[in-house]
Amino acid sequence: MTAPDPVRASRALRGSAAAVLLLEGITVLFVPRGIAQTGPGLTGPRLTLLLVLAVVLILAAGVQGRPQGLVVATVLQVPLLLTGLLNSVMWVVAGVFVLIWLYLLQVRKELLGSPFAAVRAPEPGKADGDDGPTT
């Protein structure tokens, strides 16, 4: 199944991806509070790592309109999942986000034919399935 208007579908899916990335970045900002109460606590390198990850996730949300934005965001799912090494609850939270991300990629594949391919606007005057003007 492909979308009747692939450009519009692509735009909607980019917005969804940006929203998920923004939520991921905000969620990572809550991790230091959980780390501060466990084990060795919140050290400088841990805090720096989490803040950098949060900022990169939020910036990745802003570049979803660019051709490689989706690839960058997909790669960022790995460090998000690895925050589970800092706080065990993040295995579950990040796992849910990764599953949501995989679902978005699957929907994109179903609607646009490929999860990462760029979408081209249809030629003017030719709709999907049209052979040209009718007489």
Does 41 have pLDDT greater than 90?
no
pLDDT at 2: 74
The pLDDT of residue 124 is 64
Q: Is 18 in contact with 62 (CB distance < 8 Å)?
A: yes
Summary mean pLDDT of the chain: 86
Interval 85-110: pLDDT, tens: 988 889 999 999 999 999 999 999 99
What is the model's pLDDT at position 122? 63
- Do 31 and 42 form a contact (C-beta atoms < 8 A)? no
Residues 6/119, Cβ–Cβ less than 8 Å: yes
Determine the average pLDDT of the residues in 17-24.
Answer: 96
Residue range 62-77, pLDDT digits in tens: 999 888 999 999 999 9
Distance from C-alpha of 13 to C-alpha of 115, rounded to nearest angstrom: 10
- 15 vs 7: which has the higher pLDDT: 15
Separation between Cα atoms, residue 7 and residue 103, nearest integer Å = 19
